[in-house]
Structure 1
């Protein structure tokens, strides 16, 4: 089953590598393979939180999310959000920002760096609120705490949604103050961080409002509501993946950072190679998430969902931290793997395996 799920992504990867070799040359093919491998590695981490979201969707929305939603959402967020951020931040024409991203990656990279504080603040507050859903157990789901009594107490607080908003607002306010102190309260530095943080909270509330409306019953627009609910999930996960790749670890964006320096590869070639690698990563992410959902992995491995949630919490904190001090790319590239790996290891039935092993060794003696 796992082989069949990965057959299509593997064939697409090989075909695109061959196409890049034939059209753009071997340097482009090697650059594509390197970027695709990085995208696939990060997709393996992202598939766990994606599966957690899929498990909360009703069947029609789940099928849409696992088939088309993840691929479309990741592609849209990875490819369109950077030009959109530049267009909003610089008050320019969106079409001009997209054109610049493709034909002038150096200038686009500089413009993206200018709006990065607002974008990072936006992502941090939004992602923290997504993490707070687990931390304060807003759904009041029955679960076993992964990190002990403190986690259990936080999951049992009264008014969990209020606590979520309070902690997110505190994060926005604290970061804005620290940035203000660090920059002598320069409006050009403080205002983008504060506005970006408030916008992130607002976007989260709007997304959840749409999701709540979509789950309403007894409507002639039920099919539209299914799509609306799925779209909020796609937006949420697409934003998380975008922030993980683009803002902190500096992996390829349309700015050309992933393929710059490849001999003989122009701006259009760089954009094509990068977009193809992003597409491969999105396809692998969708397939891995579908496999994890079908195998009920989050139910069997009881702490895996907790690990996925804490990945989001750490990502939000790192985004806020990156507004004050540089965050090493190696740290960002591996923290998710460490957290997910720890959750996986603690979920495995080690004691049961030991008991069965002892029982098998003792059986011949008793006989």
Structure 2
């Protein structure tokens, strides 16, 4: 079961890591490994959401999402999108950006370094909004309750996350952007660039969130109509046109999943810029991670166990928040790639360990309850 589900992911991992060694030596191997782990950890909640929706779809639409969808996710978002970001930021033709990245790494590195303040501001705001919207939502399950409980109460204030993000952007433009790091170790004033790029990142997040909400509403409408049609068919004793309704609902599910998948892909791609500017290593690492997300989605659908490690989603979002802060700091200061990657890995590992301990406590409590129940029965007899 495990090999059947994760077989392609294992194969892609082996090929990707070998390619990383040939391309960038053991440093490249380490960067690709960290990027893969980061992508998997950041997209775990994506796999959970995908699995929750996919299990409602028939086998045909599941196959469409897991084939066409993964092609879009891997080749579209993980390979093309990083090049587009660099091309726009450095004002280059996308083809020229790819050519430079492969043939003249020094020149490409200069373009990327000079464009980094804009990339960092855009990505920092996008990631920060993901983190803030998560942390301000009142959730039944809380990992760091002492922190999340009061923040959930603050989250009842409308548009609080947007206000905080804009304040952070303003402070960043007045501090880090005033002495932005450029190629050659020089520092220039990039306040205006950081402000514009940060606002663009905020708008992008709101637009993607709006589209996701739109498709989610459409999906709910289709499900309600299908339920009403089923009830009406039962009352009249007629055969209903279930295929058409199921097809429309599944189509909206597919569109919703694609938009949602794209929105989750943003954090991995943007976060990768905090670790490396090399698009080859970035593509290898994110591609491996995307394959595991696909396999994990299939595994969760087949096994039906989505809630075993309840704190992983929290850990992933804390990692997103940490990456957002790191990106904004790197506008002025350089931070080692390994340190950046390990921050996310440590947070994910901590949330995983907390989940394991929680499951153990629940199992022990359930065992003790059953034991006391049996003792009461035997004593009564």
TM-score, length-normalised on structure 2?
0.73
1:304 aligns with 2:312: yes
Alignment of 1:1-367 (within 5 A): 1-13=1-13, 27=22, 37-54=33-50, 57=53, 59-60=56-57, 67-70=67-70, 72-137=72-137, 142-157=139-154, 159=156, 162-182=159-179, 188-217=189-218, 225-245=252-272, 247-250=273-276, 252-254=278-280, 258=281, 275=283, 278-292=286-300, 294-295=302-303, 298-348=306-356, 349-352=359-362
Judged with a 3 Å threshold, the aligned counterparts in structure 2 of structure 1 residues 42 and 251 are, in CA distance, closer, same or farther, namely farther
- Rounded Cα–Cα distance in structure 2 between residues aligned with 1:281 and 1:71: 13
Cα deviation 1:175-234 (Å, max 9, x = unaligned):
111135546xx9851112111110011001111121122223358976664444223222
Judge conservation of contact 1:49–1:309 (CA < 8 Å) in 2: no
Change (3 A) 1:102 1:62: same
**Contact 1:47-1:289 within 8 A present in 2 as well:** no
CA shift, 1:306, in A, is 1.6
Report how far residue 347 of structure 1 moved. 1.9
Deviation for aligned residue 1:93: 2.6
TM normalised by structure 1 equals: 0.75
Q: Distance in 1 between matches of 2:351 and 2:30?
A: 28
Contact map agreement 1:70 1:286 (CA 8 A) in 2: yes
* Residues 127 and 291 of structure 1: CA distance in aligned 2, closer, same or farther (over 3 Å): same
The runs of 5 or more residues in structure 1 that have no matched partner are 259-273
Structure 1 pair 14–144 and aligned structure 2 pair: CA distance change class (3 A): closer
Distance of aligned partners of 1:36 and 1:343 in 2 relative to their CA distance in 1, 3 Å threshold? closer
Q: Name the CA distance, whole Å, in 1 between partners of 2:52 and 2:196.
A: 31
Query: What is the deviation of 1:40?
Result: 3.9
Relative to structure 1, the CA distance from residue 38 to residue 164 in structure 2 (aligned partners, 3 Å threshold; closer, same or farther) is closer
Cα pair distance change 1:331/1:180, threshold 3 Å:
closer
Two-structure CA RMSD over aligned residues (Å): 3.8
SS in 2 for 1:72: helix
Q: Distance in 2 between matches of 1:158 and 1:47?
A: 24
In 1, the alpha carbon distance for the partners of 2:155 and 2:62 equals: 30
Cα shift at 1:243: 2.3
Question: SS at the partner of 1:302?
Answer: coil
Structure 2: which 5+ runs fail to align? 181-186, 223-244
Structure whose alpha-carbon radius of gyration is higher? 2
Maintained 8 Å contact 1:210/1:228: no
Structure 2 CA distance, aligned partners of 1:160 and 1:75? Answer: 39
Between the aligned partners of 1:62 and 1:202, the Cα distance in structure 2 is: 31
Q: Shift in Å at residue 314 of structure 1?
A: 1.4
Q: Is the 8 A contact 1:172 1:194 kept in 2?
A: yes
